[in-house]
Amino acid sequence: MHAIFAQRRAEEFLADGRPSWDTARRLGRLLAGHRRALALALAFTVVGVLLGLIPPLLMRAIIDQAILRHDFHLLVWLAGALLLIPAVAAVVSVGQNYLNAVVSQALIHDLRTALYDHGQLLGIRFFTKTPAGQIHSRLVNDLNAVQGVLNQTLTGLFVNALTISLTLTIMFVINWPLAILATLILPGFVFPVMAFGRRSYDAMGRTQEALSDVTAHLEETLTLSGTIVVRSFGARPRESARFHALSAEVQRRQVRQSMVGQWLMMVVRALSAVGPALLYGYGGYLIIRGQLQLGTVVAFATYLVQLYGPASALAGANSTLMGGLALFDRIFRFLDLPLEVAEPTAPAALPSVSASLGYPVAFDGVEFAYQSGEPVLHNLSFTAEAGHLTAIVGPSGAGKSTVLALGARFYDPDHGSVRVSGVPLNTVSDPELRRIMGVVTQELFLFHTTLADNVRYGRPDASDHEVHDAVEAAQLGDLVASLPAGLETVVGERGYRLSGGEKQRVAIARAILQNPRVLWLDEATSSLDSHAERLIQEALTRLFRGRTVVAIAHRLSTVLAADQIVVMDHGAIVERGRHRELLAADGLYAQLYHEQFDPDRVMATRAPASAV
């Protein structure tokens, strides 16, 4: 049931979200982790707002006191203050912007690392159902957009709210009737805003989805493997047309997103013109009547600019905030994906074993399905004895690779258990499990770094001498000697500079260097020619000593000397024994053996069965 739940959550990963208070609360908790820097930024903000309120008062004093009274000394002091205050405010603004950048980048760092760490913990099932580009888009496109939102709103809301409240306070202190007249229009800023928040949320979410589609297409067609397939099938025009269509969709959605709220801002700007008109009309009338001084009207006009600017920003902030919530919803939906293969809360300790022995591995009544209602393994039970080689063979689709996936704990069984030395795998911590278990799969992946680093990947602290010994044991000595920089040669993306057999030997060298007590092999010699296979078999013979080895075999020549051969068909064990015993039984194993080593006999009796 947990696997089904995880599958459903993965399918909901790309679904549309809805803004919620929970998203806002989670964002608040993230910001709380940087409360000191945020508090300091807000302190700078308060100082900056207070400094911004002083110049209109200075202008009022210059007009009503210094100029009208012909006080040159006062004029010099007020003019000097009018020059000094903005300079100090500019310095404070630099500090405020620096602290804003520190907090926003720290928050982005927290989200980026949380996304990456959580992604590494997600089950293999999630990655088989989700395009890599959709995942990478969370860490690139979404976080870039979040950075833009944070830059606009991190302290912007506080600045605007504080500016409005303090400006109104000063205006009412100076002249409350004129202040009431000037602020009658403020409620008009509120009502047009409400209709645009939802639109902004939806527009932002759809834009990010379109960007995710573009990123996914790039991941598939502009990587080494994808490019080779595209060119091999002459699909460049088709893929180019598809990319153009995806890019055009991004363009269309970004234009729509940028236009959200533009009509709102038009209304806000129109409203912003009403206040000054009323102020100058009524204020001018009072000046003519001698009931008001000119400096007061000029100060009020300056304050109106400081009042309506933040009011307009607050009006637009609703759209920005709703768009930001859309981004955080997408990020939090990823972080909320359940861990299908979770770490145990109280890890069990594995018993100590002799350095010359491995750990026994047992499958007990294991059942498993990738899709609900479509079981792949049925009541599977067998034991791979410590220090022995167990081979698993069977037709294509028999479930052999699924056995490896469960044995290496890439998945947990739906029913039954997989145990190492009697300890269930799901009770062993992942670091402990990876310490004693090695895996060589059919999916040969090398990193874009040196050959030495690729061999050393499982043991980054291994010495050069140990790496050299592993390379020699994997029959890679001749290859290293032929490379221009030896072990320091960069193998290229996915190891494109090496042949399939060479990459497979690098994977085996990794396993040799890791020195695991339990080794899983998924056809470790499938990409080798006969000569290389013989060399690898010699290396594997040495590698197998003192370890529990389970080999998933497609080529039966690799398992003729196995201590136990488990024959599978349709997710169940149909035979088990040693090679000669199974040949004598003349069952499925014998059929598979004759198809590989005596095909003429098979063709003479029946049509060939599925490939091994």
Tell me: the pLDDT tens digits for 32-44?
A: 888 888 888 888 8
Angle, helices 197-221/236-259, rounded to nearest 10 degrees = 160
Which tops the pLDDT comparison, 197 or 6?
A: 197
Structure confidence at residue 320 as a pLDDT band (50, 70, 90): low
Share of the chain above pLDDT 90, in %: 13
Share of the chain above pLDDT 70, in %: 79
Q: What is the DSSP letter of 222?
A: S
pLDDT of the residue at 59:
85
Residue with tokens 């402990």: 432
The pLDDT tens digits of the residues spanning 287-302 come to: 888 887 888 888 888 8
Q: What is the mean pLDDT of residues 565-591?
A: 92
Distance CA 82, CA 176 (A): 25
199 within a domain of the structure (yes/no): yes
Query: Which of 18-27, 158-167, 288-297 is predicted least confidently?
Result: 18-27
Structure confidence at residue 447 as a pLDDT band (50, 70, 90): confident
Q: What is the mean pLDDT of residues 466-479?
A: 84
Distance CA 200, CA 599 (A): 66
Q: Residue 601 maps to which CATH number? A: 3.40.50.300
7 within a domain of the structure (yes/no): no
pLDDT surpassing 90 at residue 217: no
pLDDT of the residue at 602:
47
Beta strand pairing call for 518-522 and 437-440: parallel
Distance CA 461, CA 458 (A): 9
pLDDT surpassing 50 at residue 611: no
pLDDT of the residue at 425:
93
pLDDT of the residue at 391:
92
Which tops the pLDDT comparison, 270 or 467?
A: 467
pLDDT surpassing 50 at residue 119: yes
User: Which range marks the domain in which residue 375 is found?
Assistant: 361-605
User: Please, what is the average pLDDT of the chain?
Assistant: 79
Domain co-membership, 365 together with 309: no
Q: Residue 218 maps to which CATH number? A: 1.20.1560.10
The pLDDT tens digits of the residues spanning 242-253 come to: 888 888 888 888
Distance CA 199, CA 227 (A): 39
pLDDT of the residue at 578:
92
Q: How many domains does the chain have?
A: 2
Residues 6+ apart with CB under 8 A from 277: none
Query: Which of 291-305, 315-329, 426-440 is predicted least confidently?
Result: 315-329
Domain co-membership, 175 together with 293: yes
Structure confidence at residue 585 as a pLDDT band (50, 70, 90): very high
2 within a domain of the structure (yes/no): no
Structure confidence at residue 608 as a pLDDT band (50, 70, 90): very low
Specify the 3-state DSSP secondary structure of 463: coil
582 within a domain of the structure (yes/no): yes
Domain co-membership, 321 together with 419: no
Domain co-membership, 371 together with 293: no
The pLDDT tens digits of the residues spanning 137-148 come to: 777 777 877 877
Question: Smallest Cα–Cα separation from 392: which of 185, 135, 572, 546?
Answer: 572
Domain co-membership, 244 together with 153: yes
Q: What is the mean pLDDT of residues 468-494?
A: 82
Distance CA 106, CA 31 (A): 9
Q: What is the mean pLDDT of residues 437-464?
A: 83
Domain co-membership, 379 together with 242: no
